[in-house]
Amino acid sequence: MTLSGLLREGREALQAAGIPEWDLDAWYLLEYAAHCTKNEYFLRPEKEVLPQEKQLYRTLIRKRSAHIPLQYLTGSQEFMGLSFFVDENVLIPRQDTEILVEEALRALGSGMRVLDVCTGSGCILLSLLKLCAGLEGTGTDLSEKALQVAGENARRLGVEASFVQGDLFEPVSGKYDCIVSNPPYIASREVDVLMEEVRDHEPRMALDGGEDGLYFYRKIAAQSPKYLKDRGRIFLEIGFDQGEAVAGLLVPAFDEVRIVQDLAGLDRVVCGILRS
């Protein structure tokens, strides 16, 4: 079997399975399974692949045809220009979330303490630690398995962070300069109509924000002041239609509450400064 023969097989299978990005995904999986970059492919498309590479590719194509997200198959997702390890225990980092990181970076500086509630893969906290020298960071998550992924990411990125298991602030002590969070925020009934990749393969507990999607924002808005230093800041990722509601939850305890839009012009982040 040649590289081009294998690629043809993969493209056809993914297209037949109705995978939207079938062409791209067939390529990514070939690069992963046959350890061959696109450049190498075009230099020698008729190169023979090893039997184990062929077997691995076919297994991955079968899994992708069953709508398992590409990132769980390759075990990685890029976020803020960094490579994160992911598996089915964590939400796959989204590009939308980079807005939150960029917004928080503007307010952070050396010596500050930052707390990431619902850290998942650790993508938010670890990007902040990597991109702003001298920060001290803590991440919490209810899922022990997610924290194992976050710990693995800290190790791979060579940053020091402390990860603690528990519900929101439950395992947290002390005060922070900044709280960041991308909590689950999809209304329960809307989870069931998400695309198959997300609905059936990403952790439901990382998506489901209760009946109206605001369950975690209510708790975070109420509890965060206790864990913030005077004039400490909060940055929350939100769904495109949750700006007003989440800003409303912060207003009683926070000043300068703002809604920040993403590159598509949709509301994406709500932030504020703890009122003294």
Name the residues that contact ligand GLN, by CB under 6 A: 91, 93, 97, 118-121, 123-124, 182-184, 206
Nearer to ligand GLN, 71 or 119 (CB): 119
Burial of 191 from C-beta contacts in 10 A (0-12 / 13-18 / 19+): middle
Using CA atoms, how far apart are residues 19 and 17, in angstroms rounded to an integer?
6
Nearer to ligand GLN, 147 or 249 (CB): 147
Question: What totals of helices (H) and strands (E) does the chain contain, helices first?
Answer: 12, 9
CB of 158 to ligand GLN, least distance (A): 20
CB of 89 to ligand GLN, least distance (A): 10
CB of 240 to ligand GLN, least distance (A): 16
Q: Which two tokens stand for residue 85?
A: 């390890």
Nearer to ligand GLN, 57 or 235 (CB): 235
Compute the Cα dihedral for 147, 118, 183, 181 and give only its sign: negative
CB of 113 to ligand GLN, least distance (A): 18
Distances (CA, A) of 250 to 63, 84, 237: 43, 31, 13
Nearer to ligand GLN, 124 or 257 (CB): 124
